[in-house]
Amino acid sequence: MLLPPDFSLILASKSPRRSYLLEQAGIPFTIRTAEVDEIYPPETPVLDVAPYLAKLKAGAAAHLLETDREVLLTADSVVILDEEIFGKPTNRDHALEIIRRLSGQRHTVVTGCCLKSRSTEEVFSSTAYVYMNSITPREAEAYVDRYRPYDKAGAYAIQEWIGLAKIRRIEGTYPTIMGLPVDLVYERLVALANPSLS
């Protein structure tokens, strides 16, 4: 993995999907989290919202760093259609409305990340495009009632039924859509942990 044993990654996220992706990539980490209001200025360009929120989360969790060889990882994902951001649905009707809007459309997923140590901070993002087939109202109701996607931006998860049965093509990486661009995270972690290799 090219990560030295004295180097520690702290995932400041409760997302089981981000934990799963790091585990699958064989990147060791521990979880420490801090609460933060995920609010961004209304004039923020839609493509900049996810990295803005990732940086905001890192600032709120900075006090969790215990040594100079620890690095915090924070992330945020947004779903965008027609310059509108679709966040986590607030209830069943909202989830159904989001899915209705995304049905048959190409939408954008941006996952922003921040890697923060006591001395450095790096903010970056990855963008992917998702081509979704049409979803009937009955299918949307069945999906929402079974999977309850209330903690997912865009009211769906790429690894669940909609992702498996209703997405015909993606441009970009699957982990970006799932919530963490592991390729970029790993590349930057290696550079941070081994500055002599840069």
CA dihedral 188, 175, 25, 88 (to 10 degrees): 100
H helices of 25-134, in order, are 46-61, 92-102
CA dihedral 34, 187, 160, 47 (to 10 degrees): 70
* Among 6, 76, 145, 151, the one annotated catalytic: 76
Active site residue 6: no
The string of DSSP codes covering 127-183 is EEEEEEPP--HHHHHHHHHHH--TTSGGG--TTSHHHHHSEEEEES-HHHHHT--HH
Instruction: Supply 44's token pair.
Output: 């923020």
Instruction: Supply 92's token pair.
Output: 């069943």
Active site residues: 76
